Structure 1
Amino acid sequence: MRGRTTLTAVVTAVATLLLAGCVAAPDPTPPPTQSPGPTVSAGPATPPPATAAPIAAPDPAPVDVAVVHLTVRPEQLDLENARGDVVATLSYDADAEVFVDTLSQVLGGDPAVEERPGGHEWFPSTRYTWPGLAVADDHEPEEYSSDMNVTVSFTHPVIANGISVSTVQGFRPGDDLQAFAEELGEDWHETGYNSFPAETGPEIGERMYSEWDDTYWKYANANAVAVHEWGGDPDPSVTSVILAPWNFGIGHV
């Protein structure tokens, strides 16, 4: 996808967490000395109350130590610590280099990189893979900006560095997709390919084919977290996959 020169505030927050992790040193410049006021009546001076010594704040933990779980959202990844707190978010519209570098810190290593040529219906792309996760950056021209900058695809519930993955409902790659469809009230096709949104973000435009039968074209024109069946993978444990962002409300080829 297209490169990005201006990063979002959430990526800035992530980059901040990736720094050395030390609190800022106090300003060494002493405060200005005020002129003494007028002398008051004589008498023994009252000693000032004792002041407790300041307690130093602990250093913040780096991202790759604090993050133990990724929640896949329609427009970003939520990076969470062991308590379930979101310590940072990572937008799919971030520059691909920043996105991949941040995940490399979280996952404890660099990805394998594969350059893929374009074809008749797709642009050239770069694919970054870690165990259980792939990030795709397709290199569409700036004037053909149709979606967010990168996509993520998770095939396993625990990926590199022991990081767990799920949707907001707790669905994990490899979980029973038919049971999840029933939970969400989605149609299930016994024959054919099943794919549906686990979570949908805000609408970004009118939905395509709105005049068609709403039993099929019922989804909003919005980024979503897709869950779908996986076929053809040599690993039999890969049965259901989480993909984001994916727009069910527009046509795809």
Structure 2
Amino acid sequence: MKKAILSVALVALFFMSSCQKESAQEESKVVTTEQKENWLTATLDSKFASSQKQVTAYLFPADKMEALVKTPNVTTVRFVLGYDDHTIQISVTGVDKSGKKLGTVSATVLKESNYNGKLSKLNQLTVSKTNKRTALLNAHSLLPKDAFAGIEAWQQKLSAVADLEEVTSYEGVRFRYFSLESEVILAMVDSGNTANIGLFLGLNTKGKVTTVLIGLDKNNDIKKTTPTSKEAAAVYDFSLPCPPTGDPADFGGL
């Protein structure tokens, strides 16, 4: 009897260990000045590609993002890029109209080897562009299937280790950050029961790296408008990269 109990315990431990290997979250601190500088000169080689492929998404807690965008005078959020341990690091900064920094939220890095099954569900979902949504939200809204295609395209670039310098820069100058109106983030956190805003890196229609923002539930599944709905609660893109938009000189102060 004791042997049977021991066997069951060992099997349970094995599966727990396997799950931990398949899904892990690494706490990430706010991108430092050194990490930002490292990003500008990092060599995007096979070592980088191998490490970056392990990153599923950057998770920003919905409650902290809500507090950030509700901070007085915050009009824009900037997803700031850094580089550490052969991997892109990202934190988000809220700024006012003049670009003054008013708050920052760090990300948790999600590494989940079997996450593609969850992402592929994007091909079965739609998004609504009703009169309840503003023109700004509709302008940033992304079709779920296009979001999936963009994320897959970035992963394929990493697999091939091809043109990584080209897709992460504008006219030879590497992207510093991606800007988005705070109204978009507010809409995402106001949709209810959103646990995290998942930032996935993808390629846009111009073949450049961009941010794909998806509302996620407490299990980091894609959040739908209702549990049985075929409509995603929030999928957004069309953030503006710096350069060419924004001021690269702001990069050090973010």
Q: Is the shorter-chain TM-score for this pair beyond 0.5, marking a shared fold?
A: no
Q: Which of structures 1 and 2 has the larger relative contact order (alpha carbons within 8 angstroms, sep 6+)?
A: 2
TM-score (norm 1): 0.25
Larger Rg belongs to: 1
Q: Which structure carries more helix by proportion?
A: 2
TM-score (norm 2): 0.25
